[in-house]
Amino acid sequence: MIFSNISLKIRIFLSMILLVLLASVLIATVTIYQYDEQTKDYNILRFGRKENATIRDIEIELKRKTTYPINTQNLSKIFQDRIYEIANVHKLTITMYDMNGKLLKSSIPFDFEKTTDKPLLKAFVYELANNSNHKILKSKREDGITYQSSYTYINDPRFKRIGILELRIAQDNEDQKKELREFMSRLFLVYLLMFIIAIAIAYFLSSFITRSIQTISQKIKETGLNKRNEKITLNAASSEIKSLVDAYNNMIDQLEDSAVKLAQSEREQAWREMAKQVAHEIKNPLTPMRLSVQSFDRRFDPEDPNIKEKMQEYSETLIQQIDVMSSIASAFSDFAKMPTQKKEELDVVDVIKHALDIFTESYIKYSPEEKQIYANLDKIQLIRVITNLVKNATQAMKPEEENPSIEIKVASKDTTVVITVSDNGKGISEENKLLIFEPKFTTKTSGMGLGLPMIKNIIEAYDGTISFTSSEKIGTIFTIILPKI
């Protein structure tokens, strides 16, 4: 699972390194095994040569004329002294037994009877008697030294079996082990050099293989619907990468066509929605104006002594509705154009304080963390943002709320000014959170839903951000982050 999260470049690099390590370990293992097998074969051949030469000397000794008849009982006498000479010449141990495994003579200068494993020897005698080759080879390791023994029959000149011959040689492989250690140390240095070279080659190959993929990946990351996307051009690439590049370039062509069509569709839809909204908002004041004019026409009497008061009343009604239409036109005009980026050095703490002076609610609290925080902003636009957010917060208060609270905080964090407006009102529902900054969206019975979108435009014009967190029946917190001086 962890390996699947590693980049392709690192995977290729690690795979090649692991392959080199695995090959090195396998070669070293095979080398040690082969060296050990060669040592064993060498010892067997060496022991075989010594065994053949020793048996030949014993046979020659038995063919000589002696004062003792050649039989089992006289073997110890015949080889009384000669056994030591033969053993010394061939550098091995010679032991003779009768046909039942009883010791007759040995080249070992101490009491061999005490060192012989009699039950084991009887087993060898039984095995020798049932062996078709009439020869047994055994190996035994004691104190780090390997002993090899062979058991064969001793025959008289007439090929009659008169005894059992044990030849034993100590195979001290310390020299071979030393050679193996020296060889492995040299081999390790070669492997170390090879491993360093393999790391360099693996890094180069992994970088070369993934270079084209990284280029494609970077281009894909930079691809956007509303951006000018560039096609990928690779001079040297494999057929698979070239196929991927062609698919990406085709996608870019299709994306540009789709972006043009989408932009056109969005503009048309925006104009349609805007036209519907303007028409709807203008119809609202036109209805009472029409009713007022119709009522005035029916009730107009030049002789009425109160005609001036009635004219004044009708005029005020018409003027009021005309003002509503004017505010509608101004709101749409303000939303349609981005605010002018007029920047001046101002104290954010002081400006927000003056912006809150128009609110008389006792539950509105202002909590600046510092006395002065300066930023390059437009004073009027900042006041507009604060008053709009606080007004929305007061309108979000639940009628049954016993302890309403709206708190405005200002703080300095690194190179930014952080302004928060929090309330304990009714909150924003989950389905409305995604629409809160959309034009003409509102949850109030009055208004055009342009306040928050307009605030967002103002803040983003000054390279700032606005976000919010809200829970139903708990409250809402709007957070504004603007750059400081």
Rounded Cα distance between 131 and 153, Å, is 11
Below-70 pLDDT ranges, the chain:
1-5, 7-8, 109-133, 143-144, 172-174, 209, 212, 214, 217, 219-242, 259-260, 263-264, 266-268, 270-292, 295-297, 299-301, 314, 317, 320-321, 323-341, 399, 439-451
Q: What local confidence, expressed as pLDDT, does residue 18 receive? A: 87
pLDDT in tens, 83-96: 888 888 888 889 88
* Locus of tokens 């030591």: 84
- Give the tokens for residue 9: 């470049």
pLDDT in tens, 130-151: 666 677 777 777 766 777 888 8
Rounded Cα distance between 240 and 261, Å, is 32
- Give the tokens for residue 62: 């038995």
Domains and CATH numbers, the chain: 3-177 (3.30.450.20), 240-336 (1.10.287), 344-483 (3.30.565.10)
Count Cβ atoms below 10 Å from residue 423 Cβ, excluding itself.
28
Partners of 345 in the beta sheet? 376
Count Cβ atoms below 10 Å from residue 334 Cβ, excluding itself.
15
| Cβ density class 232-244: b for 16+ within 10 Å, e for less | beeeebeeebeeb
Rounded Cα distance between 355 and 20, Å, is 72
Q: What local confidence, expressed as pLDDT, does residue 295 receive? A: 67
CA proximity to 210, closest of 19, 14, 15, 11: 11
pLDDT in tens, 456-481: 888 888 889 999 998 888 889 999 99
The answer to whether 222 and 229 are in contact (CB under 8 A) is yes
Q: What local confidence, expressed as pLDDT, does residue 262 receive? A: 72
What 453-458 contacts at long range (C-beta under 8 Å, 24+ apart), as own/partner pairs, is: 453/335, 454/334, 454/335, 454/388, 455/384, 455/385, 455/388, 455/389, 457/335, 457/338, 457/339, 458/339, 458/381, 458/384, 458/385
Q: What local confidence, expressed as pLDDT, does residue 114 receive? A: 44
| Cβ density class 300-324: b for 16+ within 10 Å, e for less | eeeeeeeeeeeeeebeebbeebeeb
Count Cβ atoms below 10 Å from residue 422 Cβ, excluding itself.
20
Between helix 451-461 and helix 307-336 the angle, nearest 10°, is 40
H-assigned helices in 223-306: 239-299
pLDDT in tens, 397-454: 876 777 889 999 999 988 999 999 999 888 888 877 877 777 654 545 444 445 688 7
**Quick check: pTM over 0.85?**
no
- Give the tokens for residue 290: 């029409």
Measured CA to CA in angstroms, residue 189 lies from 182, 192, 327, 367 at distances of 11, 5, 87, 72
Measured CA to CA in angstroms, residue 407 lies from 45, 366, 386, 416, 478 at distances of 100, 6, 12, 20, 11
The answer to whether 257 and 424 are in contact (CB under 8 A) is no
The β-bridge relationship of strands 475-483 and 465-471 is: antiparallel
